[in-house]
Amino acid sequence: MRHLITEIQSLGVQVQNKITGRKSGAGPAEGRAFLINNVPVSVPIAADFVSNSPYSLQEKDPGYYLLKNGKPVSDVRVVPEPEFYGLSTEDGIAYQRIALLHGKDCLATTVLQRCIHWKQGRKCSFCATEASLAGKQTIEKKTPDQLAEVAKAARDMDGITHMVLTSGTGDPPGSEIPYLAKCARAVKTHAGIPVQVQIAPPPDLDLMDELKEAGVESLGIHIESFDMDILSKVAPVKAAIGISHYEKAWKKAVQLFGVNQVSSFIIAGLGETVSSIAWGSEFLADLGVYPFVVPLRPIPGSRFETAAPPHPDVMKPVYEAVAKILRDKGLSTQSILAGCARCGACSALSSYENNKKEDLICHSARNQSEKSQAFKIRREVFVREQGLFNVSDQDDNDPDSIHLVAKIKGKIIGTVRVYQEDKTSDHWIGGRLAVEEKFRHTRAGSNLVKEAMKRVQKKGCTVFTAHIQEKNIPFFLKLGWSPIEPVKPHFGQPHQKMQADLDLVLKDIDA
Ligand code: SF4
């Protein structure tokens, strides 16, 4: 089924005239949501490229056959138009100009339909936010009361289970966030459904606290591409924000909303390489951010309106690579409370996820509590068990280190740290590898070392060294490390300085 979803999202489906989709707007514009085995799939049906698709629909009772080159390949249902579309507010605004059904049970709206970047001629190429206003399909500013009224009706009449609040960027950027918080609070109070808010990282990241206080469950902070050359062409304002500010925003958001409740769109088909998508997905997943990879969806009114989505043969290996990253980092669409990654209709990614959880995963410590647990394991090993330090093994390198943790069934059982020799150096130093005694028979130690090698290489490291206790030298030799100094005392115990072979990062090192 996953390949079928990938193909119809890229190629589209030719449909009879009576099946219509949205004409423009954000998200899954110029398309329609189908259900395949009850999985919502948003599919292009009206763009020019769809006329070349081998896929079409044939009516049956009930539902449709999905045909490929005239032969049935699956049963599908078309998500019917929701009943709440028939209602209007007291002052005569149709509910569907306030919010729309997305996928099968998600209510979505662009709260503020104006964007400072459109006004300044710096709009993102894939965005059509203000184009929907010109077409009078929506209103410029939705009020908290309107959103609460529509959300309640959509929940009661059509079984909506969660809601997305997105917005154009305010003037100044970030000024839209308190208003989004007000809207989210109204929806939560009157409809009681989980809400995802989507924002650009504001200059003042503390504004995100207001969303948490309003009861928002999930946050989308979308970078769209990790290829900075591409990003500066298609979304110059996002490129100008810079990846390090995005990283700070994602980290703070994970602290506030939790692992798996923060996501970022990554759009495939902007001209980037597959490796940049995999690199970015791993970067996000390591932080606890869900990389929501979607094929480019050319939206009428956007600069990309005449483009075509990437070919399915491009998307399949992308999804496979990202699904593996999700598994390795312990993320899954299943625990996302609200938003696009929960809806999933614009991407085939969730159908590639193997819901069998990895028993052993490694990632950066994602919050202070995980860091404290890592320090506790180190103290147990280096102070109590080995007596290398009297009270604590923590030192001046810890504040600047990246602390990696290994988890088994969600519990931290091991750790290692890496740090740069100095701020301008490409020499990184590893150390404090510690695994709880009862888990030393697992691959936690070797996975932590491999993860550390991968991490420093991503940071531009060319020389990665560590002082290895004499008894652990064979273990590091097996992982491709080489001695670079003779064995000598270090903290009163024999150690050998060794160097990693970072060329092995891309290979599967067996140990
Ligand atoms: S994934 Fe997001 S944009 Fe796509 S249909 Fe679902 S809620 Fe809408």
Domain boundaries, the chain: 2-44+49-78, 80-355, 361-506
Q: Relative to the CA of 103, which ligand 1 atom is closest?
A: 5
Distance 36 CA to ligand 1 centre (A): 16
pLDDT of residue 116: 80
Cis-peptide into 62, omega within 30 deg: yes
Distance CA 219, CA 249 (A): 11
Strands 218-221 and 262-268: what pairing? parallel
- Protein residue with least CA distance to atom 8, ligand 1: 102
pLDDT of residue 451: 94
pLDDT of residue 5: 96
Q: Relative to the CA of 27, which ligand 1 atom is closest?
A: 3
- Residue among 255, 232, 256, 250 nearest 292 (CA): 250
pLDDT of residue 108: 95
- Residue 59 neighbours by CB under 8 Å, 6+ apart: 16
- Protein residue with least CA distance to atom 1, ligand 1: 340
Radius of gyration, CA atoms only, the chain: 25
pLDDT of residue 506: 62
- Residue among 112, 235, 216, 222 nearest 167 (CA): 112
pLDDT of residue 259: 93
Question: What DSSP character marks residue 383?
Answer: I
- Protein residue with least CA distance to atom 7, ligand 1: 340
Residue among 30, 104, 107, 343 to mutate when testing ligand 1 (max atoms within 8 A of CB): 343
CATH code that applies to domain 361-506: 3.40.630.30
Low-confidence ranges of the chain (pLDDT < 70): 17-18, 20-30, 135, 301, 355-358, 506-511
* ipTM for the whole complex: 0.83
Distance 245 CA to ligand 1 centre (A): 25
Query: What is the identity of the amino acid at 104?
Result: K
Two tokens, residue 72: 């049935």
Distance 234 CA to ligand 1 centre (A): 21
Render pLDDT for 145-165 as a digit per residue (tens, 0 to 9). Answer: 999 999 999 999 999 999 999
- Residue among 56, 254, 85 nearest 160 (CA): 85
Distance CA 204, CA 280 (A): 24
Burial of 124 (0-12, 13-18, 19+ CB in 10 A): buried
Residue count (the chain): 511
**Cβ count near 1 (within 10 Å):** 12
Two tokens, residue 280: 């970015």
Distance 104 CA to ligand 1 centre (A): 10
pLDDT of residue 471: 93
Distance 221 CA to ligand 1 centre (A): 14
Distance CA 263, CA 292 (A): 6
Q: Relative to the CA of 292, which ligand 1 atom is closest?
A: 1
Render pLDDT for 10-37 as a digit per residue (tens, 0 to 9). Answer: 999 998 766 766 555 555 666 789 999 9
Q: Which helix (H) or strand (E) holds 244?
A: helix 243-257
Q: Is the CB of 101 under 6 A from ligand 1?
A: no
Q: Is the CB of 162 under 6 A from ligand 1?
A: no
Query: What is the identity of the amino acid at 65?
Result: Y
What CATH class does 80-355 carry? Answer: alpha beta
Distance CA 234, CA 464 (A): 36
pLDDT of residue 509: 42
Q: What is the DSSP string of 378-432?
A: HIIIIIIIT-SSSS----TTGGGSEEEEEEETTEEEEEEEEEESSTT-SEEEEEE
- Residue among 374, 366, 379, 386 nearest 414 (CA): 374
Q: Measuring CA to CA, how many Å separate 122 from each of 118, 237, 349, 350, 354? A: 6, 7, 30, 33, 40
Residue for token pair 């020499």: 427
